[in-house]
Structure 1
């Protein structure tokens, strides 16, 4: 009870740090909010009984500390240049450093190398927070200072996120590379409007939470566990793998909706073509896993009735699988 209360305090502080960073009207306040968020997330990640989580927390701290120092350094130098009313190539250079620090904080390619390794050492709850909430503040800060570096980051993120998941057997690493791929799509939505980024981020977070809750329920860490788990009922297996396809962006699932909106509104034919082709690779390995799971004959206990009867999980999965029609209706109205 005492430990859970302390964890709740750290969680509240972590959320407060992100809100401080988002609502700040200067870069120093934004940096302070990111530091509060970092220093409250580290104790949540660290588990002295698990050496992998301790290693992951150390890696996360070192990378985030480096990114924070780059952020603070670039902001101080740019403020000095701005106070002297000098706009030169050096200002653009430090703006690129600022962008790079935010990319590193989010785990966006080509600054992504720490992200799958850290995810591999975390439990599902911390992985879910790292893949959703921890990306919110850096993404909003990035929208204030977009440079041409974002185009290269979009290409790298979608390419690495698609290729990196091909031979993975760990579900956590698979979700990490899927997150990198989705980050590329989210960055491309910045080229259109912040509204489309917000819509994509909400739907991506919704899909990630829905599938991670299922992994937590069945304590699954590797792909072969999705085939061999004895307590799967057919409807549960169907829901899990349809969530995979929805996360990959296959119609008629909800995950297709934000990609469809970006394809319609992005005025860059080369970028759209590249993004769609690379995302087809992601769909390939999702469909390969799903196809194998549906066709493999598995044993099931006759008296086992392990259906997903939780109203919370049912509602999440219902909207994940059938939310496209609802979103299309809303989009046509507005």
Structure 2
């Protein structure tokens, strides 16, 4: 994605639409903000990749269908009579968020996009639907369980790194939805997850990795260690920063007496940890002894990633102050 005036314009209007959605006090203006962000992100998705046009069209169709359902639920809401519009509205927002059982569009869309657009779709563009979902009153327990099970089990047999990132995003959306009624907590979770995903995508772009088998071709040990640290953090291994946000969710769910759901989420986290470890083993175990002498030649990016991931214990102490 080239930096030019058109890209700056569409990025600005996309962010403006998201801010409009999360700051409005009526549903029509929220819907308008979602449409502004959708129509702005479509031109940004087109790139030189072969499948980018297909991914753009699929994304546009799915978001248009969910926007139509959302508008229909709003019309039913203002009609007189005892109509149950909550389920229609919830389905529309779940499609926009890309969680199970409405998750298939995420995987087909991310496969044809470049890494910058994958980041924008999986993090920034989900803020508005998550905010709107926090206004609903229906229980999401079944959706949370479906999401964490789908995101963990279906990511096991993937060779494409982009699809694995897609399944990881679906899995993390389950954690976000479990703390949806506590605004500070899901905002903190999304911020930390977005930061980890940005570091991972930067490393993938730097080393030109698209498939899991290509992890063995990372030459510098510093890049391998950085990839290893980020993947372990995204899997939630203590004492890294990815563990602190999962620990925060776990404490909240214990306080809300949602023990069975929390147990399922912890078990699926182990599956997620398994395929992240598989990626790290491919990167660190092969040919590492050849470049072991370069271990201490750390560049600035590696040191920054190491420092960010090792500030977890102060973060946990801060979170204990707020919970």
The number of aligned residues is 319
Q: TM-score, normalised by structure 2?
A: 0.92
Structure 1 position 95 matched with structure 2 position 86? yes
In structure 1, how many angstroms separate the alpha carbons of the residues matched to 2:21 and 2:283? 43
Q: RMSD in angstroms over aligned alpha carbons?
A: 2.3
Aligned to 1:119: 110
1:137 is aligned to 128
Q: Residues 1-334 of structure 1: matches in 2 within 5 Å?
A: 4-47=4-47, 49-80=48-79, 84=80, 86=81, 88=82, 90-91=83-84, 94-148=85-139, 150-191=140-181, 193-229=182-218, 232-266=219-253, 267-297=257-287, 309-310=299-300, 314-319=303-308, 321-334=309-322
Q: Secondary structure at the match of 2:310?
A: helix
Sort the Cα spacing of 1:3 and 1:208 in 2 relative to 1 into closer, same or farther, 3 A. closer
Q: Stretches of 4+ moved more than 4 A in 1?
A: 298-302
Residues 141-175 of structure 1 show CA distances to partners (whole Å, capped at 9, x for unaligned) of: 11011312x11110111001001110111111010
Deviations 1:91-141 (CA, angstroms, capped at 9, x unpaired)? 2xx211101101101101111010011001000000011111011000001
Q: Contact conserved, 1:42 with 1:61, CA < 8 A, in 2?
A: yes
The TM-score with structure 1 as length reference comes to 0.89
Indicate conservation of the 8 Å contact 1:124/1:212, yes or no. Answer: yes
Report the Cα distance in structure 2 between the residues aligned to 1:10 and 1:226, rounded to whole angstroms.
34
Report if aligned partners of 1:99, 1:146 keep a CA contact under 8 Å in 2.
no
Separation in 1 of the partners of 2:111 and 2:304? 28
Counterpart CA distance in 2 for 1:328 and 1:124 is 30
Q: Gaps (5+ residues) in structure 1?
A: none
- Cα distance in 2 between the residues matched to 1:40 and 1:17: 9
After TM superposition, give the deviation of residue 333 of structure 1 in Å: 4.5
Kindly state the Cα deviation for residue 294 of structure 1 after the two structures are TM-superposed: 2.2
1:246-268 deviation per Cα after TM superposition (whole angstroms, max 9, x unaligned): 11111111101111111112121
In structure 2, runs of 5+ residues without a counterpart are: none
Q: Name the SS of the counterpart of 2:103 in structure 1.
A: coil
